[in-house]
Structure 1
Amino acid sequence: MKLLIRRPEQSDIQTLHQFFFHVIQDTYAKEGIAELVDDQQREWAMKKQYVAMDIESQGKKRFFWVAVDEATNDIIGTIEYGEANEIIQQTIKEDLSHCPEIGTVFVHPDYQNRGIGTRLLQKMLTTLEKQKVHSFCLDSGYKQAQVIWQKKFGQPDYILEHFWGTNSHHMIWQRVLPLREKK
């Protein structure tokens, strides 16, 4: 499969909204929390706001990369960075103005486990290095994503135990660049 990683365009907005909704629904189902419809709606609204911030600020407030399957021209993945979210800021309790959060690492369910997320992450790490960003953070409350992040970045710096309920922890990583991601 030929993959194109590019910046989002105004004409992508509706497609991205649908993509976010689909991936969020799939993730909640796989996590066994599909009944949390209000949480899904909040996450969907936040992702739509993030992409709007990127388009409106030309990447200054939020910065996305989208992965496109060149054969179908479908958006099949996203990654973005921006100001660290409230959970990260309240947990780390230090000035994170120069330590953006990498987030919205979404891959369409039909394309998962093909290295697309890894390619998006590599593109984002290179982007941050070129922009002279020296560190980043990321977080996850999704158990499946936590396994992936632990393989790539090791143990989290912070674990908020039972944050989302019994045995549903929230994990936060803070890393310094340049970082050579683990394979």
Structure 2
Amino acid sequence: MMQLLIRRPEQSDIQALHEFFDLVIRDTYKKEGIAELVDDQQDEWETKKQYVAMDLESQGKKRFFWLALNEETNDIIGTIECGAANEIIQQTIKEELFNCLEIGTVFVHPNYQNRGIGTMLLQKMLLTLENRRVPSLCLDSGYKQAQMIWQKKFGQPDFVLENYWGANSHHMIWKRTLPFRI
């Protein structure tokens, strides 16, 4: 059985994280049937790179990541981060969200998916937010596979932006009060 290490990112992880983000984003777009949206993939990759840079530069104050590593190989196999709510969430919820952090970048390497790694990272982040006395969290997704997972963990979304990404391609947003158990 694989041993998992969950830790904060370090400057030496940057290159591996950039490659990890690229791999997971490309795999996700392929599985979602939208691999042809190369510019969107590039934008998402650039955003994730900015988020990890913000974490390291602010020492976790602007963005905050946890990494999951295969302890045997020291490879990054999962990520989760939190920070200020994104524009879609802010425009949809239409309330002050300064006390509500968004959970995002919940990525698991394609070879390690469906093994509970994302759930472990989510539990770690929920405890982190509770310990920081963050009163609420939000998250969103336009990916159909991720939406199914989030609905299992968080129940029905608070907001569904129908056909946001095209016909039958909705965007879902959840907002939950902490503490929250999955």
TM-score (normalizing by structure 2): 0.99
Matches within 5 A, 1:115-130: 115-130=116-131
1:21-53 CA distances to partner (integer Å, 9 max, x unpaired)?
Answer: 000000000000000000000000000000000
Structure 2 distance, partners of 1:98, 1:129, is: 12
Matches within 5 A, 1:1-183: 1-181=2-182
1:107-128 CA distances to partner (integer Å, 9 max, x unpaired)?
Answer: 0000000000000000000000
Q: Give the letter aligned to residue 28 of structure 2.
A: T
Ranges in structure 1 where 5+ consecutive residues have no aligned partner: none
* TM-fit CA distance, 1:180: 1.2
* TM-fit CA distance, 1:134: 1.0
Structure 2 distance, partners of 1:129, 1:158, is: 24
Question: SS at 2:100's partner residue?
Answer: coil
Q: Give the letter aligned to residue 128 of structure 1.
A: L
CA RMSD of aligned residues (A): 0.3
Percent pairwise identity: 78
1:125-173 CA distances to partner (integer Å, 9 max, x unpaired)?
Answer: 0000000001000000000000000000000000000000000000000
Runs of 4+ off more than 6 Å:
none
Q: Give the letter aligned to residue 85 of structure 1.
A: N
Q: Give the letter aligned to residue 60 of structure 1.
A: K
Q: Give the letter aligned to residue 82 of structure 1.
A: G
TM-score (normalizing by structure 1): 0.99
Q: Give the letter aligned to residue 59 of structure 2.
A: Q
Structure 2 distance, partners of 1:32, 1:62, is: 30
Question: SS at 1:166's partner residue?
Answer: coil
Ranges in structure 2 where 5+ consecutive residues have no aligned partner: none
Question: SS at 1:100's partner residue?
Answer: strand
Question: SS at 2:69's partner residue?
Answer: strand
Count of residue pairs the alignment pairs up = 181
Question: SS at 1:72's partner residue?
Answer: coil
Structure 1 distance, partners of 2:163, 2:169, is: 5
* TM-fit CA distance, 1:16: 0.2
1:46-103 CA distances to partner (integer Å, 9 max, x unpaired)?
Answer: 0000000000000000000000000110000000000000000000000000101000
